[in-house]
A and B are shown apart, each in its own frame.
Chain A
Amino acid sequence: DAGVIQSPRHEVTEMGQEVTLRCKPISGHNSLFWYRQTMMRGLELLIYFNNNVPIDDSGMPEDRFSAKMPNASFSTLKIQPSEPRDSAVYFCASSLVGPTDTQYFGPGTRLTVL
């Protein structure tokens, strides 16, 4: 298996622009997670899907952030409009059943908002 796939690996954009991050979970995994990692706040869970349905989005910072999972093999995290404080590494992870199963992380997308 190729593991969790994320794209792009690096994204540099200007403040106010829309950013879309993409994730393909491991085939057969029913849960998908989006995390944000920064120096100041560490690794934070943004949102968690189970069977393509958002279960917990309490970590989503504000309305500028949205996430979708249209099918079992694809998810997006969108930031519109982006701000410099959104600069971080965004990880997608998947697990077989739920959050307390082993989570397999993708390589991350490093986002820089100028």
Chain B
Amino acid sequence: GESVGLHLPTLSVQEGDNSIINCAYSNSASDYFIWYKQESGKGPQFIIDIRSNMDKRQGQRVTVLLNKTVKHLSLQIAATQPGDSAVYFCAEDGGYQKVTFGTGTKLQVIP
């Protein structure tokens, strides 16, 4: 289940620091957004989602922020841990019950 690697943007973060992963979307009609985490050799795993009627949603150590004005989505991970190392995908539902995945960002946690 390894995804792209050589062509992915990479974010390197020191263990314990906060991570911010960004995603730009293009469809202004999208009303549902999801963040997935994909560890090496595994399939994507749901982390958190947000609907367009919200600006912010918090989970355990993760927060998703949605800025519809500039069509931007971010995932914040607090106190990043080595187990957070993975590729993170944002996905959007642009209507017609179809979810489109972004290309992903690789997060590397430095112990």
Contact = CB atoms under 8 A, between A and B. Distances in A.
Interface of A: 4, 37-39, 42-43, 45, 55-56, 89, 91, 93, 98-100, 102-108, 110
B44 A107 contact: no
30 contacts: A4-B43, A38-B4, A39-B3, A39-B4, A39-B6, A42-B4, A42-B102, A42-B103, A42-B104, A43-B44, A43-B89, A43-B104, A45-B99, A45-B100, A56-B98, A89-B3, A91-B1, A91-B44, A99-B93, A99-B99, A100-B32, A100-B93, A102-B46, A102-B49, A103-B44, A105-B44, A106-B43, A107-B41, A108-B1, A108-B42
SS class, residues of chain A in contact with chain B: strand
Interface residues of B, number: 26
Given A42-B103, A105-B43, A99 B98 contact: yes
B1 A42 contact: no
Contacts of B46: 102-104
Instruction: List the 5 closest pairs (A to B, CB-CB), nearest first.
Output: A105-B43, A108-B1, A43-B101, A39-B4, A102-B46
A56 B34 CA distance: 20
Nearest to B103: A42
Interface of B: 1-7, 32, 34, 41-46, 49, 89, 93, 97-104
SS class, residues of chain B in contact with chain A: loop
Contacts of A38: 4
Contacts of B101: 42-43
A103 B2 CA distance: 18
Given A37-B4, A105-B45, 9 more contacts: A37-B1, A39-B6, A42-B101, A43-B89, A56-B98, A89-B2, A93-B43, A100-B99, A106-B43
